[in-house]
Amino acid sequence: MTLSIMIDPGHGGSDPGARGYGLQEKDIVLEIALQTERLLQAYIVSIQLTRRDDVNVLIPTRTARANQMGADLYVSIHVNAGRGTGFESFVHPAASPRTVDIQWRIHREMGLFYASNGFVDRGRKTANFAVLRQTKMPAVLLENLFIDHPRDSAYLKDPLFRSEIAQMLALSIANTLQLPQRQPAWDPALEIERLRQTGLVVNLYHPNDTLLWGQYATVLNRVRNRPVFGSGWDPEREIGLLLEDGLLASPRLPAQPVRWGEFATVLNRLRQRWVEVPGWDPRAEIGLLISDGLLVTSRDPWATISWGEFATVLNRYLNI
């Protein structure tokens, strides 16, 4: 089940929040909230914001939205004022043990981040704030430095530091809720391009081009530093080297398409991974690629392999 989070940048519109040294709390917290949302898109999680613009949304409206969406976590982002310095966090005095635990985890990472920049960790606190009282889910309010302190505000003025706050916040939320990472969208053309940048592949291929034996043998021989000597490309000789070194059991023609079962078998031999069954079991060979994280879903052993698929599996193996 996908978790959902309500991120609440405090104040907005006619309510600027705290002010100091030319800064307004409402602007800083909105920027941090939007960046945090963007960074959390790397994870499987549903994010909503109580405001996305410079508008004043009433507190009961903010908390009611979070309650309606059944959010699993409410994170209210603020900047402090009142002649102090440093970072502190709040939960409601009657917060559940789970909420206190979430505060502890988020606070620990944020507190370390601020401490590493020379700021005081003012500690984990409780307060009867409306956003903490009216929300039905675990709710944490963060006070990120003091806008009216010269050193704090100098840091808050720095866009790079504000973006570091967002990075730490996104990371601490992801770690606290143990959010699974989203798999990046598959881009087979980019996979082939990456392989070309390493020099293992020289020519241009379309992701849908079928991988041929002469091509496969050549790339594998480059991977294992087994160059064919002589002038020009000799795909028959490349296949011959695979035979000589025991990576391939019987000859193939250079223009023959490579099938998934054969592809997996030769690659497994190259990376010295052996299927624990007697005889040749192409399904088990493909299974070995899956169990080692080189392939995500199963393939028909007799289906031909495309250049896009080949490049992706090889990049995973080579960590490219």
**Residues found near Zn ion in the complex (CB under 5 A):** 10, 17, 78
Minimum gap (Å) between residue 106 Cβ and Zn ion:
17
Strand-strand pairing, 87-91 and 19-20? unpaired
17 or 235: whose CB is closer to Zn ion? 17
Catalytic one of 143, 191, 238, 262: 143
Minimum distance from residue 10 beta carbon to Zn ion (Å): 4
Query: Does residue 165 contact residue 144 with C-beta atoms inside 8 Å?
Result: yes
- Residue 26 or 259: the one with the smaller Cβ distance to Zn ion is 26
Two tokens, residue 268: 């497994």
Q: How far is the CB of 141 from Zn ion (least distance, A)?
A: 9
**Residue 25 to residue 158: CA distance in whole angstroms:** 14
Q: DSSP alpha helices (H): ranges in the chain?
A: 25-40, 59-69, 97-116, 130-134, 150-156, 159-177, 188-197, 213-223, 235-244, 260-270, 282-291, 307-318
**Cross-strand pairs, 75:** 7, 140
Question: Is residue 143 annotated as a catalytic residue, yes or no?
Answer: yes
Give, as one character, the DSSP assignment of residue 8.
Answer: E
In angstroms, the Cα distances linking 166 to 30, 47, 137, 215 are: 11, 14, 22, 46
Using CB positions, name the residue nearest to Zn ion.
78
Q: Which is nearer to Zn ion, 142 or 284 (CB)?
A: 142
By beta-carbon proximity to Zn ion, the closer residue of 156 and 247 is 156
Q: How far is the CB of 136 from Zn ion (least distance, A)?
A: 22
Residues noted as catalytic: 143
